[in-house]
Homo-oligomer: A and B are copies of this chain.
Amino acid sequence: MTKGTETRTAILDEAADLASRVGLGGLTIGTLATQTGLSKSGLFGHFASKEALQIGVLGRARERFVDRVLRPTLATPRGDQRVRALFEHWLAWQQGGFAGGCLFIDAVSEFDDQEGPVRDELLRSERDKAETVMTIVATAVAEGDLAADLDLEQFAFELQGIILAHHYSCRMLRAPDATDRARTAFERLVASARPR
């Protein structure tokens, strides 16, 4: 790895943490430069524009999500157990993935109404994530751990809801029992998806 791409990823990692606190739009070249010990122009040289930087941050965050959540999940045995692993890793990600909560959740509510390349990239990323989630749940169905007639989209919808509620309860309300509540909700979801 050449020096250029090395500092580039270092910048993106720092930027992702910063953006998880102040949002992708709140990202500033100046503060990001200070944070990384670079000059404004020195940093800017790695990106064509601020928009390109934001998209780069999303890409880097995706890599980290794959490393911290998806890869460990896929390393567990197929079926029920894997769905559980996905949920647990996902929960852990939201608290330890970035300095200020899940970057994607923040980015979604920031860019859901702002058309443009950033939203497009984010949408692609979210669709991809949903697809992966449904695939994992589908294997649990194939294994017979979940009902054969399970509505995958509905399951993914409700799982996403639990994750979002956990993030909300955790980051905004700072409720100490947020994780317990999320687990309880998850158990109820899985129980209702069991084969009858």
Contact = CB atoms under 8 A, between A and B. Distances in A.
Interface of A: 20-23, 25-26, 99-101, 105-106, 108-110, 112-114, 122-123, 126-127, 130, 153-154, 157-158, 160-162, 164-169, 171-173, 177, 181-182, 184-185, 188, 192
24 contacts: A21-B113, A22-B114, A23-B23, A25-B25, A100-B112, A100-B113, A101-B109, A105-B109, A108-B168, A109-B109, A112-B171, A113-B171, A126-B172, A130-B173, A153-B181, A154-B185, A157-B185, A158-B165, A158-B185, A160-B168, A160-B169, A161-B161, A161-B185, A188-B192
Contact of A154 (B110, B112, B181): B181
Which label, helix, strand, loop or mixed, suits the secondary structure of the A interface?
helix
B173 A127 contact: yes
A14 to B, nearest CB: 16
A164 B167 CA distance: 10
Contacts of A122: 172
Contacts of A167: 109
Nearest to A160: B165
B123 A172 contact: yes
Nearest to A100: B113
Contacts of A154: 181, 184-185
B22 A173 contact: no
B169 A157 contact: yes
A165 B173 CA distance: 18
A103 to B, nearest CB: 10
A130 B165 CA distance: 12
B21 A114 contact: yes
B112 A110 contact: no
A61 to B, nearest CB: 15
